Amino acid sequence: MEANEKTVVIRGLVKRFGNFTAVDHISFEVSKGEIFGFLGANGAGKTTAIRILCGLSVPTSGEGTVAGFSIKNQQESIKKHIGYMSQKFSLYSDLKVWENIELFGGIYGLSDKQIKEKISSMLKALSMEDARDMFVRDMPLGWKQKLAFSIAMVHDPQIVFLDEPTGGVDPVTRRNFWEMIYEAASRGVTVFVTTHYMDEAEYCDRVSIMVDGRIEALGSPSQLKMQYGAVNMDEVFTKIAGRPGKQQ
């Protein structure tokens, strides 16, 4: 890990929808090049929190910066410096592989020359040179996910947000996928990942576990295992999330 350069700083973040509090005073920091795991059951508030960090949603209260820009009023600047890959697969299925790369490259303001280079280097890195002219809809799911990750990184962002990137993918592809994540982190990219596979949580540098909109535990996997006296992250998670709900 590099020095303590913080790329994400969040203080007392709250998001309410009417009476429902989806995110309830969460605070944390993420350093450059760190792989930060964001865990929680469905409806625990993970996706809402990520949407705020990506500038898709405005917080009800609280402060924070992502890549040095405020999450309250500098969303458009944030968007230029982050990559995002959502839980739904969201490349254009009626465009070809290279066309998707070109589109997103163009959107992030890469020049035609840079785009051309990106297309060839990316296809090479993914060993998809032969799939260049394939329609995205015809690709197997695992390929699509890897391609989506690469495209989320097309503009070399400082931070990349991955919202359950490995849902429905076979174990081998998942391992490949995590290799890509490590590789990105080693280049100094901060990786912010949500997952509900507990074995994946073990791969993270640090993990936070959300329950009912709050962060109930935060630390490295080994710290957490020790703290909760558990053998693996699965047990840690059961102990935390399995606890009776919030006490008023």
Partner 1 sequence: MIAMWKYLLKKEFKQYLRDPGMPRMTLMFPFLIILVFPFAANMEVRNIKLAMVDTDHSEQSGLLMEKCASSGYFEIVDVTASPEKAQEMMDRGKIDAILTINAGFARMLEGSVPAEDAIPLGIKVNTVNGTRGSIGSQYLNACISSYIMSKKGGSIPGSAQIEVRETYLFNRFQDYKLFMIPALIVIAITMMCGFLPALNIVSEKEKGTIEQMNVTPVNKFAFIVCKMIPYVAVAFFMVFSCLLLAKIVFGYGCAGSLLDISIFTLAHIIVMASFGLLVSNYSENAQQAMFIIWFFSMVFMLISGIFTPVDSMPGWAKLVSYANPLTYYADAMRGIVLKGSSLADTWVDLVCLLGIGGLTTTWAVLSYHKTN
Considering the complex, state which of residue 25 and residue 96 has its C-beta at the smaller distance from partner 1.
96
The full DSSP string for 13-44 is EEEEETTEEEEEEEEEEEETT-EEEEEE-TTS
Instruction: Give the separation between CA 163 and CA 145, rounded to whole angstroms.
Output: 12
Asked if 80 is part of the footprint of partner 1 (rule: CB under 8 A), the reply reads yes
In this structure, how many other beta carbons lie within 10 angstroms of the beta carbon of residue 80? 14
Q: Is 97 in the site for partner 1 (CB under 8 A)?
A: no
The reply to whether 106 sits near partner 1 by the rule CB under 8 A is: yes
Q: Which amino acid is at 133?
A: D
Quick one: which of 186, 184, 234 has its CA closest to 209? Answer: 234
- Region from 26-34, 98-106, 166-174, 196-204 binding partner 1, contact rule CB under 8 A: 98-106
Residues 109-168 binding partner 1 (CB under 8 A) are 109, 111, 161
Place of tokens 């260049």: 132
State the nearest-atom distance from the C-beta of 105 to partner 1, in Å.
8
- Interface with partner 1, residue 84, by CB under 8 A: yes
Nearer to partner 1, 78 or 217 (CB): 78
CA 65 to chain centre: 16
Q: How many whole angstroms separate alpha carbon 235 and alpha carbon 132?
A: 43
Among 6, 11, 12, 107, binds partner 1 (CB under 8 A): 107
Closest separation in Å from C-beta 70 to partner 1: 13
Residues that bind partner 1 (CB under 8 A): 54-58, 75-76, 79-80, 82, 84, 86, 88-95, 99, 102-109, 111, 161
